[in-house]
Structure 1
């Protein structure tokens, strides 16, 4: 028999202020800041992490400065703020492909704003009918939504400094805010000393040849507190798999590829094939290792393709059940009209949701129409792409909402949804448009536009469901939260193009910036993958040899994962985590792995203490890790602005490598000790 749900923190019969001026302003500011931070970290490592918990902590810390505030107000702030973090994933996983393929000469402001707003608002709309089915009836876990609610509870229900009879806020609210700010300061300081002043190295690398040049070892480690934080938040399972992907792509793939394909690698590296191996300089060996790794990355492409499609197949049955339950709940609410729903069960009216979907047809059509330039049949193709967006957008947004309930927003395989979009739409368009003439250029552009809209929609859908779960726990009004999601979407959409323009000028996105350090550009792995798939299907060619290896690896991982699922094992093998690890440089996966190890050590230690202290440690760890990510990422944006418009950063110090390793070790110690401290 199903146990009844616990009552919300704020009773449905009680009404507290939710939409206030200070909540709107703070929500907008945090949505923009967290969007900027996640743009940097997402382009660097190909993963974003949920911002709900740090946003809740910041909200608690700032709203407590006002005379009156309450838990529902804080919940609205984190709802808008987390929307900014989620929306940026939809943009950075796709839009850079347009610049990388030469379709755009830079990050065009208004097209990006239009894509982000339309995609984000549709993501909110698509998941409104699913709220009751997935949160109330299916009772999915929504782990980050529940964790955010726990953070919000630490601030108490309501404060009124003009009335001493009010229950004061718990001191842990102020402590959480201080921890977040402190960790952000450390992350920002590390980035300033590394990229700004040159006192710390951004990474350590080595390339060694052996066996007379027939064996090639390439390894390294990126020195980044933010990546330690990413590994901590995603946990040991995902961190291990990302590292495993790095091992496959670099420690195994690079030497094996060099052994089997020496001639083609020398050509790619620009080295004379008649030169004796013993005569190669260290710089030439480094170029050879890089060229070999560039080929091996396509193994990750193949694994992502299969992993993305598999995630959709695996979710088909539960998704259909969720949609049926949602429609049944809606019909029941209409037939049982004698009793109006309570405040905590009042969604945005279904008629308004349908109206938003219908009205969106107009901007969607013009987005595609303008993207297709002078293509002869662009009227028909634009109408088809608009239909695909509405159909696939709803399906994939529903998938993202369901997955958020199972594994959380940080582990939600949005990349898989986008890969499926690119492959499906590219195959449809290449059948209609062909591969000749202008179609070979405009076809991939239209595909990336559609992918950006659907990726934005799916990213917001997962975040919306996570926030609605938090609201369900604390007793928020659903339609007000849905409104704040839209506010966060619009705020972030207006800033994201500017941030990407600055990052591209300062570091380079997907390729080094003009005159910039060729080792420090932002990889943008998903965008590179989308470009490869879209242009490859339209005729520029794909490295099928390596992609098929990745497909085979993905099948093996799926079989292992299914076996673990049948055994009820805690450790699983999600394909996309390994695929991202293969596609990224090994150096990025090493600190992620260290962060996962730290998280596991702290989790094991928490098993020896009570449930209350274990939850407190969990909250502290997430806040500290989020602070490291946010601080480093925001400082990265500041430095990019300096490099783009003012001048060059400082020259690297002689002992920057040693100092960087030592500093990162101290930050790991800090993260561990502060997390397990009884009184932070």
Structure 2
């Protein structure tokens, strides 16, 4: 059956470029991107059906290429604006952006090839968006006939909710409150996103409750204790104080936990990884149902590594200094692409803490540079440039693994998907520099100025700049990083005890680390969705509930991308807002409760994973 056809490649390239540009704005504005696999699958089916009915595997190729646009946008937006904030750039040089993002993205594809068999076939990971994408494609091609109705209901509800909340601004996206009690502060909040509820439903109760537990520990235990010991930071309200404590101190616990948890995850799946490395490239030519051949992967790897070495040598004006920097980039790209791929299988691409592993990379690189060369004015810049490559690699690694999981369910040829991912990377990097320069000139980024008093916040890039500068300035919260590492060690020990005791309940440390790193408001709807799956008796691989949840993700994602267009064109964030309407979070809360009741009543359907 045809897969990587000319029309599929061209359509995938076009969608990758569009999704990259749209998500660039969203990432700068809100600090997140919209997962593109499911929206790309829906758009692909609509376009190919209008031209001439495409096969399900052809549509899968389109979404594989197109989803690279969102991932590359995340890798670039989370890191490169930090160079503007550090004063190194005053715009986004076109070829620099293409070079850095392109090499990082292609490395991400190469690194995930030996991981594919280990993560998809060797471990019992839910891959929520990969499974949802496969279900969407099967529903659209009549393989899950009755479930198409569930999918469409979810699409309409998710899209309408996103339009009313983010476009028309009829209610707040998050309901949250904080109270000062003596010398400390307590916080509670929940994001009212149907997509987050759906993600929790898909990943299942075990993972969802652990993500929530990490958030509850960070916000409900560590934040109040830290305030009690060190005092409250200057803030207008208790809510501002709670957020300030978490973002400036407690969040770094997640960085330490992810460092230890990532290393442990790689060690735990070492046998599967070695088997995967031995398995790839069994043939010396393209074809069949396996991965890209080993000779091609090795050749591409060398082609990518050599120019990065030359680039770092030119930046530091030293070939000797470029050696450890290039080695650091390679080790971090390999390690954190694997971690991101594992995390994508665990909690999905939308909740994959790519910015967290990038912070870890920048932290380690900055320490290495400080140790080797001392207080160098180029140290923070070099650390960001290493982090940018790693961030793009990790973002693509997680996205690629979701696509490969969808392909495994549908019976696609992995090597064709891997080529499609490369096409998506190569095309999407071409549009990001002009879009970023446009947004910088129109709104400003990060720091308010007289010309741009209300800039795009760029939260991740601001954090990257703070970490890189903080290492050389000596003001990083090392105690929080260390505490996170200790928490990870304790969780690993507890999980090993449960494993040896034969318990079905497990404690994957990275799931808890995600909860520590994410705002608690995001963890709450994920946990609620997992509870609804438990009440419905719905396993993550089953059809009716999965299609409903996939529809909610699809509708919200498509609407989120669509809303970015009039905002960017008009230059007004509130271009669609209804004036004079302020209903607070209550309508969103009512909708979330109604969706909970709906999902809890859906019984497992007949659509099951195949292949």
Shorter-chain TM-score range: 0.7 to 0.9
Cα separation, partners in 2 of 1:627 and 1:502, compared to 1, 3 Å:
farther
Distance in structure 2 (CA, Å) of the matches to 1:670 and 1:513: 43
**Residue number in structure 1 paired with 2:292:** 348
The two structures have a TM-score, normalised by structure 2, of 0.81
Is contact 2:158-2:195 (8 Å) kept? no
Deviation, 1:445, is: 1.1
Is contact 1:233-1:625 (8 Å) kept? no
Is contact 2:204-2:534 (8 Å) kept? no
Deviation, 1:633, is: 5.0
**Residue number in structure 2 paired with 1:143:** 127
**Residue number in structure 2 paired with 1:164:** none
Distance in structure 2 (CA, Å) of the matches to 1:666 and 1:387: 50
Cα separation, partners in 2 of 1:21 and 1:413, compared to 1, 3 Å:
same
Cα separation, partners in 2 of 1:74 and 1:177, compared to 1, 3 Å:
farther
Is contact 1:20-1:73 (8 Å) kept? yes
**Residue number in structure 2 paired with 1:190:** 165
**Residue number in structure 2 paired with 1:669:** 594
Secondary structure of the residue aligned to 2:378 is helix
Cα separation, partners in 2 of 1:477 and 1:189, compared to 1, 3 Å:
same
The superposition leaves residues 329-359 of structure 1 with CA deviations (integer Å, 9 ceiling, x where unpaired) of 358657xxxxx896223x4343232222222
Is contact 2:82-2:462 (8 Å) kept? yes
Cα separation, partners in 2 of 1:663 and 1:485, compared to 1, 3 Å:
same
Cα separation, partners in 2 of 1:631 and 1:241, compared to 1, 3 Å:
farther
The number of residues matched between the two structures is 603
The structure 1 residue matched to 2:337, chosen from 384, 390, 397, is: 397
The reply on whether 1:616 has 2:551 as its aligned counterpart is no
The reply on whether 1:596 has 2:531 as its aligned counterpart is no
The structure 2 residue matched to 1:642, chosen from 563, 566, 570, is: 570
**Residue number in structure 1 paired with 2:472:** 538
Cα separation, partners in 2 of 1:640 and 1:550, compared to 1, 3 Å:
farther
**Residue number in structure 2 paired with 1:73:** 58
Is contact 1:142-1:469 (8 Å) kept? no
Cα separation, partners in 2 of 1:149 and 1:231, compared to 1, 3 Å:
closer
The superposition leaves residues 161-202 of structure 1 with CA deviations (integer Å, 9 ceiling, x where unpaired) of xxxxxxx995755874675366324312321111xxxx4345
Secondary structure of the residue aligned to 1:118 is helix
Is contact 1:506-1:639 (8 Å) kept? no
Is contact 1:123-1:458 (8 Å) kept? yes
Distance in structure 2 (CA, Å) of the matches to 1:503 and 1:563: 51
The structure 1 residue matched to 2:582, chosen from 610, 632, 656, is: 656
The reply on whether 1:627 has 2:594 as its aligned counterpart is no
**Residue number in structure 2 paired with 1:368:** 312
The reply on whether 1:103 has 2:88 as its aligned counterpart is yes
**Residue number in structure 1 paired with 2:105:** 120
Deviation, 1:135, is: 5.2
The structure 2 residue matched to 1:425, chosen from 354, 365, 373, is: 365
Deviation, 1:98, is: 2.8
Is contact 2:532-2:596 (8 Å) kept? no
Is contact 1:232-1:625 (8 Å) kept? no
Is contact 1:295-1:546 (8 Å) kept? no
The superposition leaves residues 190-229 of structure 1 with CA deviations (integer Å, 9 ceiling, x where unpaired) of 21111xxxx4345555555555xx4545555555555555
The superposition leaves residues 526-568 of structure 1 with CA deviations (integer Å, 9 ceiling, x where unpaired) of x444334322322342233544444444444444444455555
Once the two structures are superposed, the pairs formed by residues 293-332 of structure 1 within 5 Å of their partners are 293-329=243-279
**Residue number in structure 2 paired with 1:26:** 11
Cα separation, partners in 2 of 1:223 and 1:454, compared to 1, 3 Å:
same
Secondary structure of the residue aligned to 2:137 is helix
The two structures have a TM-score, normalised by structure 1, of 0.74
**Residue number in structure 2 paired with 1:8:** none
Q: Which has the larger radius of gyration?
A: 1
Distance in structure 2 (CA, Å) of the matches to 1:579 and 1:314: 13
